[in-house]
Amino acid sequence: MPSAPRIAPSILSADFANLQTDIERARGADWLHVDVMDNHFVPNLTIGLPVVQAIRRVTEIPLDCHLMIDDPDRWAVGYAEAGAYNVTVHAEAVREPISVAMDIKAAGATAGLSLKPGTALDDWTEALRSYDTLLVMTVEPGFGGQEFMADMLDKVRRARTMVDTGHLTVIVQVDGGINADTIEQAAEAGADCFVAGSAVYGAADPARAIEALRAGAERAGRYGAPER
């Protein structure tokens, strides 16, 4: 049986003027998801390396950096060197997926590969053998607060099957539109790690929202005893 679900609040929906306070409000988070956007790969601009370095100094929560940027081959390793726990690049942007994964891991992080909704899992299964995490986007990347795309659950199911049959060894992550209503279906389909921005930071009490998400994922009944 898989271990406990991981809940990864996305600071995209936090108050950027009070980031440290909002990070501290995310008590119980397993990972802290950091959305890096460059206004090229996606039509939005957020934060980059200096902010990740600053966050790293104020929290012990493992940082999960989701790079929605062009040319991740050039930039990804810097995030690993900055102390990110996991660094995810996009399949649609990466040029040399295997060497990028090796570089990220050599710099001390785990390596993730993300697929936009229109990107097929089958085209990436070979490259994914070099990765530790697979991020299945359940919205078009770029913005928080969008509606969950339930038709992505098939991709999650197929990824789960590949892991369960030993063809891949990735953590299966979902990102986009995850909330108390949608998390159970994503968990049932086989996700291990759940990114949630607006569901956590749109709530009056982010820590309670994290617990509600965890309870929702556990309702799917796929997980063993919590490790934490």
Q: Judge residue 115's burial from the number of C-beta atoms within 10 Å of its C-beta, 0-12 exposed, 13-18 middle, 19 or more buried.
A: buried
The active-site residue out of 64, 103, 132, 175 is: 175
* 122 catalytic per annotation: no
**Residue 197 binds which entry of ligand DX5, Zn ion, none, CB below 5-8 Å type-dependent:** ligand DX5
**Residues at the interface with ligand DX5 (CB under 6 A):** 10, 12-13, 33, 35, 66, 139, 141-146, 175-178, 195-199
**Residues between 25 and 44 that touch Zn ion (CB under 5 A):** 35
SS3 of 113, please?
strand
**Residue 38 binds which entry of ligand DX5, Zn ion, none, CB below 5-8 Å type-dependent:** none
* 175 catalytic per annotation: yes
Of the two residues 152 and 226, which places its CB atom closer to Zn ion in the complex?
Answer: 152
Of the two residues 31 and 124, which places its CB atom closer to ligand DX5 in the complex?
Answer: 31
The C-alpha torsion from 107 through 193 and 153 to 202, rounded to 10°, is: -110
What burial letters (b/e) apply to 189-210, b meaning 16+ CB within 10 Å? bbbbbbbbbbbbbebeebbebb
H/E element, 11: none
> Closest separation between CB of residue 179 and ligand DX5, Å?
7
Q: What residues are paired with 156 via a beta bridge?
A: none
The active-site residue out of 35, 38, 103, 192 is: 35
Closest residue to bound Zn ion by CB:
66
What burial letters (b/e) apply to 44-59, b meaning 16+ CB within 10 Å? eebbbeebbeebbeee
Closest residue to bound ligand DX5 by CB:
197
Of the two residues 37 and 107, which places its CB atom closer to ligand DX5 in the complex?
Answer: 37
Of the two residues 97 and 144, which places its CB atom closer to ligand DX5 in the complex?
Answer: 144
Task: Match 């940027």 to its residue by tokens.
Answer: 69
Counted residue by residue, the chain has a size of 228
Residue type, 214: R
Of the two residues 43 and 108, which places its CB atom closer to ligand DX5 in the complex?
Answer: 43
Read off the tokens for 173.
Answer: 């992550």
Q: Segment contacting Zn ion (CB under 5 A): 63-71, 143-151, 161-169, 208-216?
A: 63-71
Query: In the set 6, 66, 90, 214, which binds Zn ion (CB under 5 A)?
Result: 66
Please identify every residue annotated as catalytic: 35, 175
